[in-house]
Amino acid sequence: MRAGAQVLIVPTNTSSYSTAQVPTQEIAASEVQAVQQGRDLLQAAPTGYSAWITHRGVLLERSVLGSRQVVPATLDLRDGWTVYVHWGDTPVLVARPGPAGRLVAGRAPAGPRRHGNRLTADRLDYS
């Protein structure tokens, strides 16, 4: 975006996956990326899903998995920066009450603490 891209094109190849799970996750990631960048997105895949996604993350067209197909699309050329392009993850990290937010805000992360009858923790150890 900083170099002036007006549309996003995402090449992908999911030939090693025999089910729709990973190709569907790639579509979801492309939807998020289109919103983050504020650009229409075309995902091109020889074996997975090819798709057309608007700058608002709306999936308008998607190919059928495992078939040769052309996904016709009319993409809008857009310019300008979204809040995400301009600031990245910083606003989320600062607003987040977890340890990353406190580090960005200049405060040390806290450990577990008790609030009335509930115990809260900033770090959970599942080991």
Q: Distance between CA atoms of 43 and 64, rounded to whole angstroms?
A: 13
pLDDT in tens, 92-127: 777 766 665 556 555 555 555 545 555 444 444 444
Count of beta carbons in the 10 Å neighbourhood of residue 76? 10
Cβ neighbors of 80 (< 8 A, separation 6 or more) are: 38
* SS3 (DSSP) at 106: coil
In the chain, helix, strand, coil percent, each to 5? 30, 15, 55
Tokens of 87: 């600031």
Confidence of residue 88 (pLDDT cuts 50, 70, 90): confident
Percent of the chain with pLDDT over 90: 33
